[in-house]
Amino acid sequence: MNKQLINFHLCLTIILSVSYLTHDFLYNSIHLFQLYTLNFSIAVFVYWLVYLLRNSQKEYLGFYFLAGTFIKFIVFFLLVFPNFKDDNVVSTTEFLSFFVPYAISLIVETIFLIRLINSENK
């Protein structure tokens, strides 16, 4: 496996694990592990997609990244949001249960994709 792939997986795993443990300690949410796993999986999928297509379809890499973000929101609204709306109220804990892993995985994914694209342009 390539060094860039290993670094991405390692960094994302460590950061999300530390965040999950902290988040679970502060706000014990039912769906927390699923949300972290979901965000991790989609971030890995998008990174691999861009990584594999970085040479053959350079002009479309940004669209693949945006599609990954779109997929995260679609999955959230189809699978997660209905569970949060069971009581017709989305609490702060429920919101943070989705938004924290989403934001962290998006930031890590963006940083590593920028590095990947910049390394290919040199």
Per-residue pLDDT of the chain (122 residues; tens, 9 = 90+): 688 899 999 999 999 999 999 999 988 777 889 889 999 999 999 899 888 888 888 788 888 888 888 888 888 888 777 777 677 777 777 788 888 999 999 999 999 998 988 887 66
Report how far residue 46's alpha carbon sits from residue 64's, in angstroms, rounded to the nearest whole number: 7
- pTM here? 0.85
| pLDDT for the residue 7 | 93
The type of residue at 47 is: Y
Other beta carbons within 10 angstroms of residue 27's beta carbon come to 15
Q: What is the pLDDT of residue 122?
A: 64
Per-domain boundaries in the chain: 3-121
Token representation of residue 26: 């502060």
Q: How far apart are CA 82 and CA 89, in angstroms?
A: 11
